[in-house]
Structure 1
Amino acid sequence: MEVTPVIAVFDVGKTNKKLFLFDESYNIVFERSARFNEIVDEDGFACENLEALKKAVFDSLNEVSRLEQFDVKAVNFSAYGASFVYLDKDGNAIAPLYNYLKPYPEDIRKKFYDAYGDEAEIAFKTASPALESLNSGLQLYRIKHQKPELFERIRYALHLPQYLSYLITGKAFSDLTSIGCHTALWDFEKNDYHNWVKQEGLDNILAPIAPADERIPSYFNGRWYQAGIGLHDSSAALIPYLASFSEPFVLLSTGTWSISLNPFDQAPLTAEELKNDCLNYIQYKGKPVKASRLFSGHEYDQGIKAIAEKFGEDVIKYRNIPYDPDMPGKDIAAYYELIHQIISKQKIATGYVLKNTPVKRIFVDGGFSKNSVFMHLLAAAFPQIEVYAASMAQATAMGTALAIHHQWNSKPIPNDLINLKYYSGTSHVV
Structure 2
Amino acid sequence: MRYASVMYLHKGCEEEYKKRHDELWPELAEHLKQHGIRNYYIHLDANENDRNENRLYATFDADDLDAQSLADHPVMQRWWEYMADIMETKTPSFEPVADALQEVFRFNVLQPDKTRVVAVLDIGKTNIKICLMDGQTGALLHIEKRVNGVVDAPPYPHVDVDSIWQWIKDTLADLAQRYFIASIAITTHGATIACMKGEQLALPILDYEYDGVSELKEEYDAARPYFSESFSPRLPQGLNLGAQLFWQQKRFADEFATVDSLLLYPQYWGYKLSGNKAAEVTSLGCHTDLWNPTSCQFSTFCEQQKWAERFPEVIETGAKLGTILPDLAKETGLPASCVIFNGIHDSNASLVPYIGQPMEKLTVVSSGTWTVIATINGKLGSLHEDKDMLANVDALGRATPTIRFMGGREWEQLRSDSKATLSDVNFILENGILAMPAFAKGGGPFAHCEGRIIDRGITLTPAQQSALADVYVALMTDYCLDLMDTSNTVIVEGAFSNNLNFLTLLACMRSQNEIYASRDVTGTSGGAALLSNKSLKLKGRLSLALCDAQIKPLLNLYRQQWRDLVGEL
TM-score (norm 2): 0.64
Match of 1:348 among 479, 484, 494: 479
Q: Distance in 2 between matches of 1:248 and 1:323?
A: 35
Superposed, which structure 2 residues align to 1:4-403 within 5 Å?
4-23=115-134, 24-35=136-147, 38-43=150-155, 45-67=156-178, 70-89=179-198, 91-106=199-214, 108-115=216-223, 122-131=226-235, 132-220=237-325, 221-222=329-330, 223-242=336-355, 246=359, 248-268=361-381, 270=383, 273-304=384-415, 316-318=418-420, 320-321=421-422, 342-354=473-485, 359-403=487-531
> Alignment partner of 2:354: what SS?
helix
> Alignment partner of 2:267: what SS?
helix
Once the two structures are TM-superposed, the CA of residue 101 in structure 1 deviates from its matched residue by: 0.7
Check whether the contact 1:322–1:372 (CA below 8 A) recurs between aligned residues.
no
Moved more, 382-391 or 418-427: 418-427
Once the two structures are TM-superposed, the CA of residue 168 in structure 1 deviates from its matched residue by: 1.5
Check whether the contact 1:217–1:227 (CA below 8 A) recurs between aligned residues.
yes
> Alignment partner of 2:137: what SS?
coil
Q: Distance in 1 between matches of 2:425 and 2:364?
A: 26
Check whether the contact 2:286–2:392 (CA below 8 A) recurs between aligned residues.
yes
Residue type of the alignment partner of 1:58: K
Identity %: 21
Once the two structures are TM-superposed, the CA of residue 66 in structure 1 deviates from its matched residue by: 3.5
Check whether the contact 1:86–1:157 (CA below 8 A) recurs between aligned residues.
yes
Once the two structures are TM-superposed, the CA of residue 380 in structure 1 deviates from its matched residue by: 2.3
Q: Are the structure 2 counterparts of residues 360 and 138 from structure 1 closer, same or farther at C-alpha, using a change threshold of 3 Å?
A: same
Check whether the contact 2:370–2:404 (CA below 8 A) recurs between aligned residues.
yes
Check whether the contact 2:380–2:391 (CA below 8 A) recurs between aligned residues.
no
The residue number in structure 2 matching 1:311 is none
> Alignment partner of 2:403: what SS?
strand
Q: Distance in 2 between matches of 1:151 and 1:280?
A: 29
Q: Specify every segment of 5 or more residues in structure 1 that has no aligned partner in the other structure, as ranges.
A: 306-314, 407-411
Residue type of the alignment partner of 2:133: F
Once the two structures are TM-superposed, the CA of residue 185 in structure 1 deviates from its matched residue by: 0.6
Q: Give the number of the structure with larger relative contact order, counting CA–CA contacts within 8 Å between residues 6 or more apart.
A: 1
Residue type of the alignment partner of 1:160: Y
Residue type of the alignment partner of 1:47: H
Check whether the contact 1:323–1:376 (CA below 8 A) recurs between aligned residues.
no
Residue type of the alignment partner of 1:383: S
Once the two structures are TM-superposed, the CA of residue 57 in structure 1 deviates from its matched residue by: 2.6
Q: Distance in 2 between matches of 1:289 and 1:96?
A: 31
Aligned residues: 400
Once the two structures are TM-superposed, the CA of residue 419 in structure 1 deviates from its matched residue by: 3.5
Residue type of the alignment partner of 1:194: S
Once the two structures are TM-superposed, the CA of residue 184 in structure 1 deviates from its matched residue by: 0.9
The residue number in structure 1 matching 2:555 is none
Once the two structures are TM-superposed, the CA of residue 38 in structure 1 deviates from its matched residue by: 3.2
Q: Are the structure 2 counterparts of residues 269 and 167 from structure 1 closer, same or farther at C-alpha, using a change threshold of 3 Å?
A: farther
> Alignment partner of 1:250: what SS?
strand
Check whether the contact 1:249–1:361 (CA below 8 A) recurs between aligned residues.
yes
Q: Are the structure 2 counterparts of residues 190 and 413 from structure 1 closer, same or farther at C-alpha, using a change threshold of 3 Å?
A: same
TM-score (norm 1): 0.83
> Alignment partner of 1:238: what SS?
coil
The residue number in structure 2 matching 1:3 is 114
> Alignment partner of 2:353: what SS?
helix
Moved more, 161-170 or 13-22: 13-22
Q: Distance in 2 between matches of 1:277 and 1:11?
A: 25
Q: Distance in 1 between matches of 2:153 and 2:428?
A: 51
The residue number in structure 2 matching 1:417 is 540
Q: Specify every segment of 5 or more residues in structure 2 that has no aligned partner in the other structure, as ranges.
A: 2-112, 331-335, 432-459, 552-569
Q: Are the structure 2 counterparts of residues 386 and 41 from structure 1 closer, same or farther at C-alpha, using a change threshold of 3 Å?
A: same
Once the two structures are TM-superposed, the CA of residue 126 in structure 1 deviates from its matched residue by: 1.2
Check whether the contact 1:244–1:415 (CA below 8 A) recurs between aligned residues.
no
Q: Distance in 2 between matches of 1:80 and 1:198?
A: 24
Q: Distance in 2 between matches of 1:81 and 1:115?
A: 22
Q: Are the structure 2 counterparts of residues 423 and 248 from structure 1 closer, same or farther at C-alpha, using a change threshold of 3 Å?
A: farther
Once the two structures are TM-superposed, the CA of residue 292 in structure 1 deviates from its matched residue by: 1.0
Q: Are the structure 2 counterparts of residues 32 and 343 from structure 1 closer, same or farther at C-alpha, using a change threshold of 3 Å?
A: closer
Moved more, 371-380 or 80-89: 371-380
Across the aligned residues of Structure 1 and Structure 2, the Cα RMSD in angstroms comes to 3.0
Residue type of the alignment partner of 2:226: I
Check whether the contact 2:285–2:291 (CA below 8 A) recurs between aligned residues.
yes
> Alignment partner of 1:403: what SS?
helix
Q: Distance in 2 between matches of 1:85 and 1:327?
A: 45
Q: Are the structure 2 counterparts of residues 398 and 414 from structure 1 closer, same or farther at C-alpha, using a change threshold of 3 Å?
A: same
Q: Distance in 2 between matches of 1:157 and 1:334?
A: 44
The residue number in structure 2 matching 1:312 is none
Q: Are the structure 2 counterparts of residues 275 and 64 from structure 1 closer, same or farther at C-alpha, using a change threshold of 3 Å?
A: same
Check whether the contact 2:425–2:471 (CA below 8 A) recurs between aligned residues.
no
Check whether the contact 2:183–2:339 (CA below 8 A) recurs between aligned residues.
yes
